[in-house]
Chains A and B, each alone.
Chain A
């Protein structure tokens, strides 16, 4: 198990390195970093100082090393618009994003999984068909459409909830629902098929033939086994949460990391984009690592098997 953890950790570190390398390469390809980050009309001395600080007059390998070094200390330069260190801008927005993504994740899991299990247990019933029909909407409807529809219904027509801004907890409701509901639908669908596959296994039939009550068959045999593929999907969901946050925060004017990314891209504020890339990559990698650990803990085959290649 330790070996498994170590190899996953190594993989996580490599992924982050890869992401930063990607940022470095793209940055170099797109033009002179000094000019791009500092904007064209900065005074020549400032540009020169920037060049020196970032070693832009040095061979490419040295540049790469110093870039990675800077990245790991969180130094990405200053935001073009703000003048403040990019990393600061990013980190101060993280809590706001967490405030809607974490509840959304809870919603996805709390709504999606039970719905999927119920649908699987009552296969082909009305509830099952309705759940499946509704869940199709989950992945065909883009989040911005859902967001705008919710705004149209709840804010404009019914007036129950505020349309945008972040002044109160009530403002968070629509963003959370938008983020969570789409994923809940996918979650339900997936859980249902995982459960169905497990229920079709011979060991389920064997257990109930032994005389084990159906409830116990579900709780002791079916659910734990279905949990395994479900956990991997949760890892997936985390990724889509991040992507979803970008759009949702923009629609609802929620001051989180996603909204910052959009404005940074629009303004080509590259220091901020790089800082964001790093923070997002790091959190995704950590989240995936946690999921991998959970997966490894749940699946005894993974625990005792050699760390595969």
Chain B
């Protein structure tokens, strides 16, 4: 009976046993999603090595040539743009840029939100009230508007932009961290350990954080695609990543003018955006089902 219980239990009995054996049981959709994401990560990491051409190299004779199966040649498998620059090269660099921005943005949002949530739950009183008000404010305005205002006032530079993305959805993590900490404090393990004489650092670091980690991770799988969408939207409008740097949204923005003559310039990055956000959402859904024992 004990063995059966451990297999069905949602909590770690052994990391190895938990992650390796079930790999074979992953549903098809999730496997595909994971593979696509793995591909994206490889492309992003190995961009410099994979680049067939420099992104600024033009080849005017091959301007606006279509992709491989639509009349194009192997030299430019995804076609070229109006200046003969290779679309696949730009795509590779854009993937790296967009993924990087999304990654850092997510990490900043998670860290910021979790720390604020902990502070709110720990200190209560006016600290909590202030943080709750900030959460309310963030949740009441669509972030796109807030982001645009900040961009208007501060102009645009890459570090600023990434920092701005880091403010997207921090309130989600703050809410989670605060809620779960309060619950742990009230009647739970945090109260028990505190009365053993443990200091706050130990309580938050060793006990609370590992326990809320899975919920935070699931939220991260929501934030990551949202930042991709936000960044590409802003870059599309010309307000995000500025040239000579290129991102997925950026590429769609440029491709827009050629939508009639050379739709592939726009379609390649657009497809990557859609597939990537789709994959992460699928993965996130599945992860949430796996990690949240209350849904069973």
A/B contact in complex, CB under 8 angstroms: yes
In the complex formed, the residue of A with least CB distance to B137 is: A18
Contact across chains for B236 and A273 when beta carbons are under 8 A apart: no
Please give, as numbers and ranges, the residues of chain B lying within 8 Å of A141 by CB-CB distance. 274, 277
Report whether B259 and A15 are in contact in the complex, using a CB–CB cutoff of 8 Å: no
Chain B contacts of A19 at CB under 8 A? 137, 141
Measured CB to CB, the closest approach of chain B to A144, in angstroms, equals 5
Query: Would you call B153 and A148 a contact (CB within 8 A)?
Result: no
Q: Which residues of A sit under 8 angstroms from B281, Cβ to Cβ? A: 136, 139-140
Question: Beyond A140-B225, A284-B140, is A152–B263 a contact (Cβ under 8 Å)?
Answer: yes
- Docked complex: A17-76 residues within 8 A CB-CB of B: 18-19, 22-23, 26-27, 29-30, 36
In the bound assembly, the distance between CA atoms of A270 and B154 in angstroms comes to: 11
A243 to B230 CA separation, bound complex (whole angstroms): 10
Instruction: Mark the stretch among B38-46, B119-127, B144-152 that contacts chain A.
Output: B144-152
With a CB–CB cut-off of 8 A, which chain B residues contact A145?
Answer: 252, 270, 273-274
| Inter-subunit contact A144/B149 (CB<8 Å) | no
Given contacts A15-B140, A246-B144, A285-B140, contact A142 B259 (CB under 8 A): no
Binds B, one of A173-181, A206-214, A258-266: A258-266
Interface string of B128-167 (1 = CB under 8 A from A): 0000010011001111111011111111000000000000
Out of A27, A247, A288, which one reaches B140, CB within 8 Å?
A288
A281 proximal to B (CB < 8 A): yes
- Of B145, B229, B252, B274, the residue contacting A277 (CB under 8 A) is B145
Q: Is the CB of B233 within 8 A of A143?
A: yes
By the criterion CB–CB under 8 Å, are A15 and B239 in contact? no
Q: Which of A239-260 contact B (CB under 8 A)?
A: 239-240, 242-243, 246-247, 250-251
Contact B136 A15 (CB under 8 A): yes
- Chain A contacts for B142, CB-based, 8 A: 239-240, 242-243, 284
Q: Name B259's contact: one of A156, A240, A250, A264 (CB within 8 Å).
A: A156
User: CB of A151 within 8 A of chain B?
Assistant: yes
Assuming the A-B contacts A27-B153, A264-B152, A265-B152, are A144 and B236 also in contact, with contact meaning beta carbons closer than 8 angstroms in the complex? yes
In the complex, whether A280 has a CB less than 8 A from a CB of chain B is: yes
Query: A284, B141: Cβ atoms under 8 Å?
Result: yes
> Would you give the shortest CB distance from A242 to chain B, in whole angstroms?
5
Question: Smallest CB–CB gap between B292 and chain A, Å?
Answer: 15
Contact partners of A242 in chain B: CB under 8 A: 142, 144-145
Contact across chains for A250 and B153 when beta carbons are under 8 A apart: no
Give the total of B residues in contact with A, Cβ under 8 Å.
Answer: 39
Docked CA distance A273–B149 (Å): 7
- Partner of A148 from the list B148, B229, B270 (CB cut-off 8 Å) is B270
A13→B24 CA distance, assembly (Å): 55
Shortest CB distance B165–A (Å): 15
Q: Is B260 an interface residue (CB 8 A)?
A: yes
Pick from B145, B154, B274: contact of A30, CB under 8 Å: B154
Quote the shortest CB–CB distance from A8 to chain B (angstroms).
12
Name B253's closest neighbour in chain A (CB-CB). Answer: A144
Name the residue on B nearest A143 (C-beta). Answer: B233
B252–A265 touching, CB < 8 Å = no
Q: Does B102 contact A (CB under 8 A)?
A: no
Residues of B in contact with A (beta carbons under 8 Å apart): 133, 136-137, 140-146, 148-155, 225, 229, 232-233, 236-239, 249, 252, 256, 259-260, 263, 266, 270, 273-274, 277-278, 281
Apart from A22-B149, A152-B259: 13 A-B pairs, beta carbons within 8 A? A15-B140, A29-B153, A30-B153, A136-B278, A141-B277, A143-B233, A144-B236, A156-B259, A239-B140, A240-B142, A246-B145, A268-B152, A273-B153
9 pairs, A vs B, C-beta closer than 8 Å: A140-B225, A140-B277, A242-B144, A242-B145, A243-B143, A261-B145, A266-B239, A268-B153, A277-B149
> Closest 6 A-B residue pairs measured CB to CB?
A243-B144, A243-B142, A30-B153, A265-B152, A140-B278, A140-B277
